[in-house]
Amino acid sequence: MRLEVEHLSKTYGSTRATDDLTLHLGDTRVLVLIGPSGGGKSTLLRLLGGLETPDHGRLVINGRTLDSAPASLLSYRRKNGFLFQQFNLFPHLSARENIALPLEKVHLHSRPSALEIADAALDRFSLLDHSSKLPSQLSGGQQQRVGIARAIAHSPEILFLDEPTSALDPEMTAEVLELIQELAETGQDIILSTHEMGFARAVADQVAFIASGKIAELAPPLRLFENPESGVCQRFLSKIMRY
């Protein structure tokens, strides 16, 4: 995965979510975004995923320049997978149908093909026995695993995850983080934001610390966590890793 982000700005009303943000990254499998709440992690993730368009700046991902043309953005989004803080499963559809429906409607698979892929995705994440259950009949961890299965069912180029464990209890958090680590180890390119510092340290190839809409520091996890260079990153880590 290669990223070239230059002078990226995005404003919501009077709030500047990203502020002339620049990032250059080459040949990276897993990029983890950390930093204080409201610092710009989610906005950057949505801009990189083509779910939002910047007010200013340039985005080049794997050699492809993202533009704001709707058809171009739609084509780009179809190549990637997304999972956010809320599970966003269709409440009236079974786990199997939650995966099969996008494969049919978005990725134009036939009905038999979509069901076959859905079953394979559920089986991969040990959910096949729960395929006929509605989201309300699943635990939070199971719902999030269905969400991840849906996001990777079409073999995305990049998987975007926005604080995927924020709504889970500790046991379910560990379950989902292990699944994400497994995906990374099998070669899936991933960009994710998280408050789980131990996980970030274990799974990331590069960690970007974002605050006030800017990338204050970018480094491999060992260097960033052991010897952060920026004062704002030092203060942040000293607080959250104290206990």
How do the domains of the chain map onto residue ranges?
A: 1-80+159-243, 91-155
For the domain made up of 1-80+159-243, give the CATH fold: Rossmann fold (3.40.50)
What residue has token string 């698979």? 109
Coil/strand/helix, residue 186? coil
Query: So what's the pLDDT on residue 224?
Result: 95
Say which DSSP state 84 is in: -
Q: What is the mean pLDDT of residues 43-49?
A: 94
Q: Which two tokens stand for residue 169?
A: 């209890």
Query: For the segment 86-138, what is each residue's pLDDT rounded down to a tens digit?
Result: 668 999 999 999 999 999 999 999 999 999 999 999 998 889 999 999 999 99
- Higher pLDDT pick, 88 / 15: 15
- Contact present, 34 and 192 (Cβ < 8 Å): no
Query: For the segment 165-195, what is each residue's pLDDT rounded down to a tens digit?
Result: 876 778 778 888 888 888 888 899 999 999 8
Q: Is the dihedral of CA 87, 92, 96, 99 positive or negative?
A: negative
Backbone φ and ψ of 64, nearest 5°:
-105, 125
